[in-house]
Amino acid sequence: MKLNTLFAFALAATVSAAPLHEPREQPHNQKNDQYEYRPVTKLDEGTLQVTDNDDPPKHTPHVYESKNWSGAVLKNQPEERYIYTSVRGRFTVPSVQYHGSHHKDESAAIWIGIDGFPDGTSMLQAGVSITVPEKGPVKYEIGVEWYPEPLQKLSYFPIHAGDVISIDIVANTSTTGTIIVDNESRGELARIPMQAPAKEPGENYWLMGQSVEWIVEDFQHPLANFSEVVFYNASAETSFYETVTLSEADVIILKPRQSESLSQVSIDSDSQLTVRYRG
């Protein structure tokens, strides 16, 4: 298996990174108009599905609406002292075709990440971006990002529709991390050291370890018809060295403006969820 290494970001100044296994004070909740919380009972029938199987979720998921995200999120509570230190999952890259009549490129992104919910101040993520032109071939690209730095595409990393991609993200400290991307179908693996971008000299965008996500994103309207994306082997680890599964996850549905939701989310088991296109 080929190993590629890439240094993604450099700090403008040397800082002392706080270890992520030391719990930090939780910030006050911040209002963000990108997310709107509402109880699951208020959803239209069929928007959320919890599959009846031998390994059902152990709680009733809360449902959030987003203008650009759809998937599942695990989040800690203010009274809980642990934080998330890693997240992982696998998915198959979908085959996407142009389906609109708007004469614009369509797009979708599939990614896994730490933090970003609900305020999005800082986030460490990796995944696949898909661009579907009206004419010409569909472009599939692997990218890594420590938001608010822009996405860094791994141009050397081969990827095609039908490939099985495994992603493992580890927050070594609040300002350093490691992303491992494995194209299991083609025997290609990249290990990318990451550093937090600087706000100003001596200050960085810290990870807080408050949430982990498995997301399909409409990153550049209009949204491509991705059919469905199944995340499996999904799990996270906490600062207490415990493995956390989707049994405690909440869901996010994609609903731009006041229009009908464009996605349907099902939590299939403790380690699998499915995001379906509804456009």
User: Which residue among 22, 217, 248, 260 is the active-site one?
Assistant: 217
3-state helix/strand/coil string of 249-272: CEEEEECCCCCCCCEEEEEEECCE
DSSP code of residue 55: S
Cite the DSSP H helix spans in the chain: none
**Contact assessment for residue 67 and residue 34, using Cβ atoms and an 8 Å cutoff:** yes
Let me know if 217 is a catalytic residue: yes
Cα–Cα distance list, 157 to 13, 164, 262, 276 (Å): 30, 13, 30, 27
Cα-trace Rg, the chain? 18
d(CA 122, CA 230): 26
33: left (phi over 0), alpha (psi -120 to 50) or beta: alpha
**Contact assessment for residue 265 and residue 249, using Cβ atoms and an 8 Å cutoff:** no
Beta strands at 35-38 and 63-66: parallel, antiparallel or unpaired? antiparallel
Catalytic residues: 217
